[in-house]
A and B are shown apart, each in its own frame.
Chain A
Amino acid sequence: MEFVIENLSKSFEKKEVLKDINFTFESGKIYGLLGRNGAGKTTLFNCINSDLKADSGNFYLVEDGDKRGLKPTDIGYVLSTPTVPEFLTGREFLKFFLDINKDSIGKDNIRSIDDYFATMNISAEDSARLLKDYSHGMKNKMQMLINIIAQPNIMLLDEPLTSLDVVVAEEMKQILRSLKTGRITILSTHILDLALDLCDTIVLLNHGTLEIIDKENLDSSEFKTRIIAALTEESHV
């Protein structure tokens, strides 16, 4: 499976944020989207998730040579600030989600609610509390859990892991790695080390275009230098 972006452009008033982007993402890979502050990473995600109307451009999936347009359910979007319905308990949220999506997930794939919480290391006691009383990290786990169960073809993660404690962050990394087969994972981040550690491919969003930075035979510190050079260099063009 491939995810193709064709001629994507987006401007805010006179500021061109995305300039005629053409890019193909391949399944089974985690892409690290790097860019400086204000480069348009979130704008790109919002366009893909159709939260924002692009000025021009197409998105489609290619499966076994067949092209088809994106459906909302193809995408799982995990925001940097976790968003969960705070008036529900963790358990209720999961039950509601499973109710709605039982057909798309498939009966055979649905596991018990306790099972799901166990995989995320959320205790039974915590799962019965209102989400408004969850900590930031717990909310994040909950949001991730929902997105994992939905099994989207494309996972967008905006600045994940940045505000999580080390233990949860490590758990999340493991989860992301275990999920990458069969789908396209794109995560935006400012943290170079995280991108290098977790991602198979580094993509720069610079001056409104996407560009792959090849690792070639560089060791990780040389690679880092190269990425930073690419980001600084081009900003003076």
Chain B
Amino acid sequence: MFKTLRISFSLKNTYRVNTILYSLKQIPLIRKILPSTLYNVRGLKIFANVIAILWEIMTFFVTKLTYIGTMIYIVADLYEGSATDAVFLHIFLFLTIIGAFLNTYIFETGKDKYYAIVLMRMNPKHYAITNYAYTLFKAFVGTLAFGLLFGITAGLSIWQCIILPFFVVGIKLAYTSLIMLRYDKAGKVPSQNKVDLTRWIIALVLLFAAYLLPLAKFTVPAFVSSMIMLPFILLGILGIFVIARFKEYYSVYKQLLSELAIQMDNTATKVVADQHKNFISNEGNYTSNKTGYEYLNELFIKRHRKILWKSSKVISLVSFGLILAAFIAILIFPESKLEVNELLLVFLPYFVFIMYAINRGTSFTKALFINCDHCLLTYSFYKQPHDILKLFTIRLREIIKINLVPALIIGGGLTFLLFFTGGTSNPINYAIMFVSIICMSIFFSVHYLVLYYLLQPFNANTEIKSGTYQLISGATYFVAYLMMQARFPLFIFGVSCIVFCVLYSLIACLLIYKLAPKTFRIRN
């Protein structure tokens, strides 16, 4: 048994260590320093091992500390007018029941299990029972330590606290053995990675029972909670025999891991590619009368309506609805006019984030790459500088058009609201508000398409390979997010925003004309 534990632990550890090393290799700059043989470098291996072991120790304690500490103890303390000890046990009781069937450990599927049982052909029963015992042991120790700590602080007696870890382990054993008994008849086990509706509903009901009943001043008395817990300990002991005698570990894991194996064969990139393939739709049998790149573009846009125009229309409708709602709200509460007016005059930076969030640029470029450029870039005619620039211009026009519809509605709506709530002393503010929203929309459209043409972040497998691209995307988000916090007078912000967007777009397009013929390729 210890041998199995040692082997499975070292397997899991190797897997973790390599994952850590692999992630290190994904970070730009650091990647350059690391040798290509990093999986063999002793120092790095030791470093990753230390992290992996720390991680394992963390799982021993930190999970239970945060779980019992935040989800039970702190919450229990919040309910006024109820005895903390009773609420503590009440929540603990219900959450543990949820945990018993949502988190069985033994029916959990993970890559390490797949490697051990399917690829390395370890004895499934030994593997399952050993790892199960180890996980239960961890849960027991963690619950014992923090059950005592928080339990006693909450006012429980020592014996009430000591029951807790036995209850946790007992109910898990009992539930697992129940599934095993049922498996002998039904030939199926519930997958833990795909929870069905019934179990979700039961979990939700129990969750409400855990947190809402005490709010309604109904708490299971502390003594009763403890009495409910005790029989599960006995059931758990009986469960041990069932689990030890169960013979069908291999078939159970075969069933559970087969789903995982399919996922592992279909790498994430293939899933993305397949998903994009499904975006192509020839409903309505669209054709085009144009020629050359305009022809290509028109067919692309028409066959990708689902992800391009349709979402743009939905966003437009929602924006329209929100503005209409704001308008009606102001009609009903005319006293809010002044406040809304003041808000509108300083709120423009907030819309940087909104325009960022609703921009279809990333889905557009991603679809462009996966469904179009990824293939056509292997043909030499497509890589001619003149052709690259021609198509860039067409695409820029399209992406701006797609994003412009919601921008017009938002820009127009805001300007109208500004007027309706009392207007502004400087009439030019109307124009600035409208134009700056339009500019933001154009800016993000240009930004994404230019990034795509200059960095062409994908490789032939449609994975994002460019660290710079990810860095800039992250920075874009960050700036847009910061803007959400900022408040500037409409005039100053609007004018600088317009100037920035126009300048940026001009410079970006100039860069494209200079650089894109070289940068727009498939990465290796």
Chain A residues near B (Cβ < 8 Å): 12-15, 46, 49-52, 72-77, 79, 83-88, 92, 95-97, 99-101, 104, 130, 132, 146-147, 150, 152
Chain B residues within an 8 Å CB radius of A86 = 277, 280, 371, 375
Show 5 A/B contacts (Cβ-Cβ < 8 Å), sorted by A.
A52-B524, A86-B277, A92-B287, A104-B381, A132-B277
Check if A95 sits within 8 Å of B295, measured CB to CB. Answer: yes
CA distance A104 to B383 in the complex (A): 15
Residues from 20 to 71 in B contacting A, C-beta threshold 8 Å: 35-36
CA distance A132 to B295 in the complex (A): 18
CA distance A83 to B375 in the complex (A): 5
Check if B36 sits within 8 Å of A51, measured CB to CB. Answer: no
CA distance A107 to B448 in the complex (A): 39
Check if B384 sits within 8 Å of A72, measured CB to CB. Answer: yes
Contact partner, B36, options A14, A50, A92, Cβ 8 Å? A14
Check if B380 sits within 8 Å of A87, measured CB to CB. Answer: no
- B519 → A minimal CB distance (Å): 12
Mostly helix, strand, loop or mixed at chain B's interface?
helix
Chain A residues within an 8 Å CB radius of B379 = 77, 97, 146-147, 150
CA distance A143 to B400 in the complex (A): 32
Q: Does B282 contact A (CB under 8 A)?
A: yes
Check if B375 sits within 8 Å of A85, measured CB to CB. Answer: yes
Check if B378 sits within 8 Å of A77, measured CB to CB. Answer: yes
Stretch binding the partner chain, chosen from B138-146, B296-304, B310-318, B328-336: B296-304
CA distance A97 to B376 in the complex (A): 10
CA distance A17 to B166 in the complex (A): 61
Contact partner, B383, options A14, A72, A99, Cβ 8 Å? A72
Check if A73 sits within 8 Å of B381, measured CB to CB. Answer: yes
Check if A97 sits within 8 Å of B381, measured CB to CB. Answer: yes
Check if A83 sits within 8 Å of B378, measured CB to CB. Answer: yes
- A197 → B minimal CB distance (Å): 26
- B372 → A minimal CB distance (Å): 5
Q: Does B293 contact A (CB under 8 A)?
A: yes
CA distance A95 to B298 in the complex (A): 14
Known interface pairs A86-B371, A87-B371, A101-B381; A51-B522 also in contact (CB < 8 Å):
yes
Check if A13 sits within 8 Å of B378, measured CB to CB. Answer: no
CA distance A73 to B380 in the complex (A): 5
Check if B36 sits within 8 Å of A12, measured CB to CB. Answer: yes
- B238 → A minimal CB distance (Å): 56
Q: Does B90 contact A (CB under 8 A)?
A: no
Known interface pairs A96-B296, A150-B381; A87-B303 also in contact (CB < 8 Å):
yes
Interface centre among B374, B381, B522 (most CB of A within 10 A): B381
CA distance A210 to B378 in the complex (A): 24
- A79 → B minimal CB distance (Å): 6
Chain A residues within an 8 Å CB radius of B291 = 99
- B298 → A minimal CB distance (Å): 11
Residues from 342 to 384 in B contacting A, C-beta threshold 8 Å: 371-372, 374-376, 378-381, 383-384
CA distance A147 to B378 in the complex (A): 11
Q: Which residue of A lies closest to B378 (CB)?
A: A83
CA distance A73 to B292 in the complex (A): 17
Chain A residues within an 8 Å CB radius of B184 = none
Chain A residues within an 8 Å CB radius of B378 = 77, 79, 83
CA distance A130 to B383 in the complex (A): 24
Q: Does B172 contact A (CB under 8 A)?
A: no
Q: Which residue of B lies closest to A84 (CB)?
A: B375
Check if A87 sits within 8 Å of B384, measured CB to CB. Answer: no
Contact partner, B381, options A12, A50, A100, Cβ 8 Å? A100
- A57 → B minimal CB distance (Å): 17
Contact partner, B372, options A14, A85, A146, A150, Cβ 8 Å? A85
Check if B524 sits within 8 Å of A77, measured CB to CB. Answer: no
Q: Which residue of A lies closest to B292 (CB)?
A: A99
Check if B380 sits within 8 Å of A100, measured CB to CB. Answer: no
Known interface pairs A83-B378, A100-B387, A101-B381; A88-B36 also in contact (CB < 8 Å):
no
CA distance A58 to B522 in the complex (A): 21
Chain A residues within an 8 Å CB radius of B395 = none
Check if A87 sits within 8 Å of B374, measured CB to CB. Answer: no
Check if B381 sits within 8 Å of A87, measured CB to CB. Answer: no
Chain B residues within an 8 Å CB radius of A51 = 521-522, 524
CA distance A114 to B379 in the complex (A): 22
Chain B residues within an 8 Å CB radius of A14 = 35-36
Check if B524 sits within 8 Å of A46, measured CB to CB. Answer: yes
Q: Other than the known A72-B381, A86-B277, A87-B280, what 14 A-B pairs have Cβ atoms closer than 8 Å?
A: A12-B36, A50-B521, A51-B521, A51-B524, A77-B378, A77-B379, A85-B296, A85-B376, A87-B303, A88-B296, A92-B287, A92-B299, A132-B280, A146-B379
